[in-house]
Amino acid sequence: MNIETAASQLEALGNTTRLTIYRTLVRAGQNGLPVGKLQLKLDIAGSTLSHHLRKLVGVNLVSQERQATTLICRANYSSMDGLISYLADECCADSAGCAAESPEAAA
């Protein structure tokens, strides 16, 4: 996980519509949801949904699987795990021990 990847994943989640999409997929669990169901639930234009979905798939936060005519979308938990780890680690959130890693901060 490099900083550019992290930034692009964060950017993908940093939009209310997309975060809602992602959250909805997470709550749908392993079964996932077809694009059409998502559209009904969220009440947005199909083209808009497709646009956002592509972005989420592009940064690997969501994966898709074809089932006949419908396209099932699923939240990609391991990617989110990686992102959270990056945030907690590289940009460590625990107030203790952060400065320990950076020598120049030991002033």
Partner DNA sequence: GGGCAATTTCTAGAATCGTCGAAATAGGCT
Partner DNA sequence: AGCCTATTTCGACGATTCTAGAAATTGCCC
Contact between 51 and DNA per CB under 7 A: yes
Instruction: Considering only the stretches 3-11, 44-52, 62-70, report the one whose residues sit in contact with a second copy under the rule CB under 8 A.
Output: 3-11
**Rounded Cα gap, residues 83 and 89, in angstroms:** 10
Q: Looking at 1, 6, 24, 34, which residue binds DNA (CB under 7 A)?
A: 34
Q: Looking at 5, 39, 60, 63, which residue binds DNA (CB under 7 A)?
A: 39
- H/E stretch holding 52: helix 46-58
On the CB side of 98, CA atoms within 13 Å amount to 9
Q: Looking at 5, 24, 60, 64, which residue binds DNA (CB under 7 A)?
A: 64
